């Protein structure tokens, strides 16, 4: 979505970052020194799959990682190259219900976690601040990788997931093999977010400003209003996606998490500079405010009908990607790119892995 150059790794931005706030899991071991690079095989061709072909994940798991007990879906061979798929708001792991089997069939181990405050992901301690600032969510994913002993993965995401994947690629590139971010470079600069956008762009963000009020907070805490608000957002941002009630309700179950309202409200208020983050994340936010470049192999995707995009040529964020790079436009597709266009999304993942 709309985000409000070059950064070499700042001192102290290591994987043990969460130790500032809580005890972090040990970092996974690095690559063996001196191992020669193997020539890459051609990227597999992903077979065409209609959206909605799959309706559920068959392997749902839980693991303690950082401050969370993370719920996640897993598919594919245990020792395959890893892809981590990250959802956005108001969505959940079912955005990847068709993508995951496609990648699994291509030989990938696919991990699809519920972000904090969603689905079966819960906080280990009631005393932990229900914080949804961008660096906290990124560190959740690093902690998950450490808990699963994943040294390096392809990261793919949209919305909150795209931002999170981009942050990890910028600050911890040694953990990212390749990147597929929908809508490109979404790292938030809170100070820049204080400047107004053109009115048409502001209009699509109506819920962000609603959440800045107590009225909006209460709405998110009220089950029926929360349900109906999220359904309205789906309708508005995916104008050609003919999803049915059952599809939405599968995802809406993830909104029943007791921390959901607090996490959503904090995320949008923090991005507007209306809510404080935690001081233990300040060093990461300072680094991110410098708009760090992303040097890992990347394929950016712009859905042609995503109302949050002012254009789909990627020109506005191209300078932030300094490594091997491609840009693709998803014709006729709205905001929830992986669920609306699973074949194209999965193909982008395997192609990015082969750049």
pLDDT tens, 229-246? 999 999 999 999 999 999
Q: Tell me, what's the pLDDT at 197?
A: 86
Neighbours of 107 (CB within 10 A): 13
Please tell me the distance from the alpha carbon of residue 50 to that of residue 201, in angstroms, as a whole number: 31
Query: Computed over its alpha carbons, how large is the radius of gyration of the chain?
Result: 19
Which of 268, 293, 282, 272 lies closest to 189 in space, CA to CA? 272
Higher per-residue pLDDT: 182 or 29: 182
Which of 144, 108, 110 lies closest to 27 in space, CA to CA? 144
* Cβ(170)–Cβ(7) below 8 Å: yes
Is the pLDDT score of 268 beyond 80? yes
Using one digit for the tens of pLDDT, what is the confidence trace for 184-209?
999 998 988 888 889 988 999 999 99
Q: Which of 4-18, 59-73, 95-109 has the least mean pLDDT?
A: 4-18
Is the pLDDT score of 18 beyond 60? no
Using one digit for the tens of pLDDT, what is the confidence trace for 50-89?
999 999 999 999 999 999 999 999 999 999 999 999 999 9
Please tell me the distance from the alpha carbon of residue 117 to that of residue 264, in angstroms, as a whole number: 8
Which of 217, 278, 232, 274 lies closest to 67 in space, CA to CA? 278
Using one digit for the tens of pLDDT, what is the confidence trace for 320-347?
999 999 999 999 999 999 999 999 999 9
Q: Tell me, what's the pLDDT at 305?
A: 98
Do the bridges between strand 176-181 and strand 153-157 make them parallel or antiparallel, or are there none, so unpaired?
A: parallel
Is the pLDDT score of 25 beyond 70? no
Structure tokens that stand for 334 in this block: 């709205």
Is the pLDDT score of 33 beyond 70? no
Residue in the structure block whose two tokens are 């990847």 = 96
Please tell me the distance from the alpha carbon of residue 211 to that of residue 82, in angstroms, as a whole number: 36
Q: Tell me, what's the pLDDT at 10?
A: 37
Higher per-residue pLDDT: 69 or 26: 69
Please tell me the distance from the alpha carbon of residue 27 to that of residue 4, in angstroms, as a whole number: 31
* Cβ(220)–Cβ(264) below 8 Å: yes
Is the pLDDT score of 20 beyond 60? no
* CA angle at 271 for the pair 269 and 95, rounded to the nearest 5°: 95
Q: Tell me, what's the pLDDT at 237?
A: 98
Beta bridge partners of 300: 327
Q: Tell me, what's the pLDDT at 26?
A: 34
Higher per-residue pLDDT: 354 or 6: 354
Structure tokens that stand for 342 in this block: 């699973």
Q: Tell me, what's the pLDDT at 6?
A: 34
Instruction: Tell me the CA distances in angstroms from 17 to 33, 140, 174, 322, one per residue in order.
Output: 24, 10, 15, 25
């Amino acid at each position: 979505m709309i985000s409000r150059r070059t950064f070499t790794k700042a001192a102290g931005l290591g994987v043990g970052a969460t130790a500032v706030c809580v005890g972090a899991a040990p970092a996974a071991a690095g690559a063996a020194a001196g191992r020669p690079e193997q020539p890459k095989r051609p990227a597999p061709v992903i077979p065409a799959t209609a959206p909605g072909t799959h309706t559920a994940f068959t392997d749902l798991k839980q693991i303690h990682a950082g401050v969370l007990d993370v719920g996640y879906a897993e598919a594919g061979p245990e020792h395959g190259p890893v892809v981590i798929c990250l959802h956005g708001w108001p969505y959940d792991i079912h955005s990847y219900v068709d993508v995951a089997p496609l990648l699994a069939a291509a030989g990938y181990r696919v991990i699809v976690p519920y972000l904090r405050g969603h689905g079966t992901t819960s906080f280990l301690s009631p005393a932990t601040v229900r914080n949804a600032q961008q660096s906290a969510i990124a560190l959740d994913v690093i902690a998950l990788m450490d808990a699963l002993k994943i040294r390096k993965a392809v990261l793919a995401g949209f919305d909150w997931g795209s931002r999170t994947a981009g942050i990890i690629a910028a600050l911890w590139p040694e953990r990212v093999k390749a990147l597929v971010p929908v809508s490109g470079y979404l790292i938030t600069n809170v100070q820049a977010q204080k400047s107004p956008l053109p009115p048409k762009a502001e209009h699509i963000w109506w819920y962000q400003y609603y959440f800045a009020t107590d009225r909006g907070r209460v709405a998110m805490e009220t089950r029926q209003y929360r349900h109906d608000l999220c359904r309205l957002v789906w309708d508005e941002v995916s104008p050609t996606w003919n999803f049915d009630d059952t599809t939405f309700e599968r995802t809406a179950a993830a909104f029943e998490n007791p921390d959901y309202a607090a996490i959503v409200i904090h995320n949008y208020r923090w991005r507007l500079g209306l809510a404080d983050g935690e001081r233990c994340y300040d060093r990461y936010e300072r680094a991110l405010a410098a708009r760090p470049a992303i040097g890992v192999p990347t394929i950016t995707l712009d859905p042609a009908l995503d109302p949050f995009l002012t254009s789909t040529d990627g020109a506005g964020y191209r300078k932030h990607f300094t490594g091997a790079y491609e840009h693709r436009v998803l014709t006729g597709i709205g905001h929830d790119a992986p669920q609306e266009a699973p074949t194209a999304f999965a193909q982008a993942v395997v192609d990015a892995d082969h750049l």
